[in-house]
Amino acid sequence: MKTTENILIVDLEATCWENRPPRGQESEIIEIGVCIMNAKTGRVSKNEGILIKPQFSKVSPFCTELTTLTQNMLDNEGVLLDDAFDILRAEYDSEELTWASYGNYDLNMLESQARRFYVDYPMSDDHINVKTLFGQLHPAIRKSVGMNRALGELGLTLEGTHHRGVDDARNIAKILHWCLNNC
């Protein structure tokens, strides 16, 4: 596993529905939660949630209940996906740093949304799947578990709002730091 001195942690939130999406709507990234974690110290810096305006869907009540994100928030504070990717490159050095996410959903979604919107993929090729790594390293867990359970297994509490990318990125950093210390 290749790591850089600082690791970019990413957690995405996307439009979602309790059941199937309404006709003409699809799952789209609506928040990119990011932070930078120093691989040695675990210190987290530059933590933010980049809000994104969905182009083909609306935020459902179910999605708002899960993430606390509303259509109004995204309309007023969100940027286009291409602009969010530019922020990742310019402010987070995303094409150079090793990056990590909890599972492969974020990796797959970033790749598919880049293709869908005809924009350049903003991340480096060096990705750490923290969910898989935690399952391999934890002495009592030999399968993949959710982020909240992984925090509990480490005696850590979830900080912030679960399913808000800005907060989940910080929580993932705590799990990754434990993993790096136990490799």
Is 80 exceeded by the pLDDT of residue 18? yes
Determine the average pLDDT of the residues in 134-158: 92
User: What are the beta bridge partners of residue 79?
Assistant: 52
Which residue type occupies 45?
S
Q: How far apart are CA 54 and CA 179, in angstroms?
A: 34
User: 44 with 13: CB under 8 angstroms?
Assistant: no
> How far is CA 163 from each of CA 2, 21, 53, 57, 89, rounded to the nearest angstrom?
28, 19, 17, 19, 24
User: What are the beta bridge partners of residue 99?
Assistant: 8, 127
Per-residue pLDDT tens digits for 46-55: 999 999 999 9
Q: For the chain, which residues make up each domain, given as ranges?
A: 6-181
Name the strand (E) or helix (H) holding 168: helix 165-181
User: What CATH architecture applies to the domain 6-181?
Assistant: 2-Layer Sandwich (3.30)
Could you tell me which residues come within 8 angstroms of residue 43 by beta carbon, excluding any fewer than 6 positions away? 37
Which residue type occupies 78?
G
- 3-class secondary-structure state, position 83: helix
Is 90 exceeded by the pLDDT of residue 79? yes
Determine the average pLDDT of the residues in 161-178: 98
The token duo for 51 is: 């809000």
